[in-house]
Amino acid sequence: MDGRVWRYILEKRESEGALHFSLLDPDPLQMTTEEAARLAALAEKAGTDAIMIGGSTIFGLIDESVKAINDAVDIPTILFPGNITGVSEYADAMFFMSLLNSTNPYWIVGAQSLAAARVKMAGIETIPMAYLMIAPGKTAAWVGDAKPFPRDKPRLVLMYALAAELMGFRLVYLEAGSGAEGGGVPPEIISTVAKYAEIPIITGGGFNDEKSVVRAVDAGASIVVQGTFVERSLPEDGGEALSRIVRALKKAGAKRV
């Protein structure tokens, strides 16, 4: 029942301790399909382990961008859908996610139900993922009607992460929101979840430098996602800064192997 991408994640987690994912939001107002494909190729060259594709406000021809990105790289491409519009059969896998701390059932199970038949028929690999929104949450929290967890309340996040584990989700995503200030999700939140929960942690939102990424791995994250940094730095230096960060992440991960 385990798909190829999920096995890739588990194997890398075991052998390397931690993974780096690059998030691309191929919003046509921000970048062309060609640019998205070029960034994906550069991110792969810099050592990232997978390309996530999605965003909260995406619209336009997702199939076209996903196909172009998928053609440009050999590493897995994983959909990170912000709504039913984020589904495409051209990716290798899809995070089938539920925003557990939304106040609106649409984002917990409504959108998922509307998309489920299409996802099933497309035969795309799905990875069930609980999505937990931590303050500030930014655009994703606003769109997803979330009640973001305060940054100084790790136990609240832990309660939800444990529930996610018991419900059978494969991953728990601790999200501070794209472009969040403050160096990403607080390490105390990550370490509290890692200490008591067995479910692997993926985290993102405001990890814009080496220090914050390494801190997240040291706190117990299995996957760190960078979106804004990737989209900003790759056109400037072709992936130099990103490859330094990936190397630092792998070094921190190796301590856990």
Give contact residues for ligand 1GP (rule: CB under 6 A).
23, 140, 175, 178-180, 204-207, 225-229
d(CA 126, CA 119): 8
Handedness of CA 134, 105, 201, 243 (dihedral sign): negative
Looking at the Cβ atoms of 105 and 179, the one nearer to ligand 1GP is 179
Shortest Å, Cβ 121 to ligand 1GP: 27
Shortest Å, Cβ 138 to ligand 1GP: 8
| Residue nearest ligand 1GP (C-beta atom) | 204
Shortest Å, Cβ 180 to ligand 1GP: 6
Three-state SS string over the chain comes to: CCCHHHHHHHHHHHHHCCEEEEEECCCCCCCCHHHHHHHHHHHHHCCCCEEEECCCCCCCCHHHHHHHHHHHCCCCEEECCCCHHHCCCCCCEEEEEEECCECCHHHHHHHHHHHHHHHHHHCCEEEEEEEEEECCCHHHHHHCCECCECCCCHHHHHHHHHHHHHHCCCEEEEECCCCCCCCCCCHHHHHHHHHHCCCCEEEECCCCCHHHHHHHHHHCCCEEEECHHHHHHHHHHCCHHHHHHHHHHHHHHHCCC
Looking at the Cβ atoms of 107 and 207, the one nearer to ligand 1GP is 207
Shortest Å, Cβ 212 to ligand 1GP: 10
Looking at the Cβ atoms of 26 and 205, the one nearer to ligand 1GP is 205
Shortest Å, Cβ 246 to ligand 1GP: 14
Looking at the Cβ atoms of 88 and 166, the one nearer to ligand 1GP is 88
Nearest residue to 91 via CA among 65, 70, 117: 70
Looking at the Cβ atoms of 30 and 117, the one nearer to ligand 1GP is 30
Shortest Å, Cβ 120 to ligand 1GP: 25
Looking at the Cβ atoms of 62 and 254, the one nearer to ligand 1GP is 62
Looking at the Cβ atoms of 4 and 147, the one nearer to ligand 1GP is 147
Shortest Å, Cβ 133 to ligand 1GP: 10
